[in-house]
Chain A
Amino acid sequence: MRIHLPNSAFLGNIDPFIRGFDPSQPDRLEITANDKWIAVHPSVISMVAALGLKVGPAGIACQKFEARSSHYFVRMGLFKLLGIPTDIAITEHEPAGRFIPLTQIRTSDELTRFITEMIPLLHLEAEQAKTIGYIVSELVRNVLEHAETMHGAILCAQYYNKSNSIRIGIADAGLGIRATITRSHSAETDLDAIRLALMPGITGTTRREGGTEQNAGAGLFFIKSIASVNRDFFVIYSGAGFYKLLKKSAGRRLRLQADPFQDRHSSDGNMPSWPGTVVGVDITLNQTEEFSRLLDAIRETYSSAVSERRKQRSRRPRFT
Chain B
Amino acid sequence: MKRIDVFEHAGAFAENKDVARDLRLKELMPALDRDEDVVLNFERVEAVTQSFIHALISDLLRKKGSAVLDRIEFRSCNDTVKKIITIVVDYMQDGAG
Scan residues 30-79 of chain B and give those whose CB is less than 8 A from a CB of chain A. Answer: 46-47, 49-51, 54-55, 58-59, 62, 79
A1 at the interface (CB under 8 A from B): no
A218 neighbours in B (Cβ, 8 Å): 50-51, 54, 91
CA distance A208 to B17 in the complex (A): 20
Partner of A216, one of B13, B86, B91, B96: B91
Q: Which residue of A lies closest to B53 (CB)?
A: A216
Q: Contacts of A211 on B, CB cut-off 8 Å?
A: 54, 58
Kindly list chain A residues whose C-beta atoms are within 8 Å of the C-beta of B2.
none
Q: Is the CB of B46 within 8 A of A126?
A: yes
Q: State in angstroms the CA–CA spacing of A200 and B50 once bound together.
A: 12
Q: Which residue of B lies closest to A209 (CB)?
A: B95
Q: Please report the total number of B residues contacting A with Cβ < 8 Å.
A: 32
Q: In the bound complex, how far is the Cα of B80 from the Cα of A298, in angstroms? A: 12
**Tally of contact residues, A, Cβ under 8 A:** 37
The answer to whether the Cβ of B88 comes within 8 Å of any Cβ in the partner chain is: yes
Known: A210-B91, A298-B87. A130 touches B15 (CB 8 A): no
The distance in angstroms between the C-alpha atoms of A134 and B97, with both chains bound, is 29
Is the contact region of chain A dominated by helix, strand, or loop, or is it mixed?
A: helix
Q: Which of A138, A208, A295 contacts B80 (CB 8 A)?
A: A295
A299 and B15 form a contact (CB under 8 A): no
Structural contact, A214 and B17, CB atoms closer than 8 A: yes
A307 at interface, CB cutoff 8 A: yes
Say yes or no: is B21 at the interface (Cβ < 8 Å to chain A).
yes
Q: Nearest Cβ in chain B — how far from A292, in angstroms?
A: 5
Write out, one digit per residue, whether chain A residues 76-95 have a CB within 8 A of any chain B CB (1) or not (0).
00000000000000000000
Query: In chain A, residues 209-261, which have Cβ atoms closer than 8 Å to a Cβ of chain B?
Result: 209-211, 213-216, 218-219, 222
Some 23 contacts from A to B, beta carbons below 8 A apart, are A109-B16, A112-B16, A130-B46, A130-B80, A134-B15, A134-B47, A141-B15, A141-B17, A200-B91, A208-B95, A209-B95, A213-B24, A216-B51, A218-B54, A218-B91, A219-B50, A292-B83, A295-B84, A299-B87, A302-B91, A303-B90, A303-B94, A310-B95
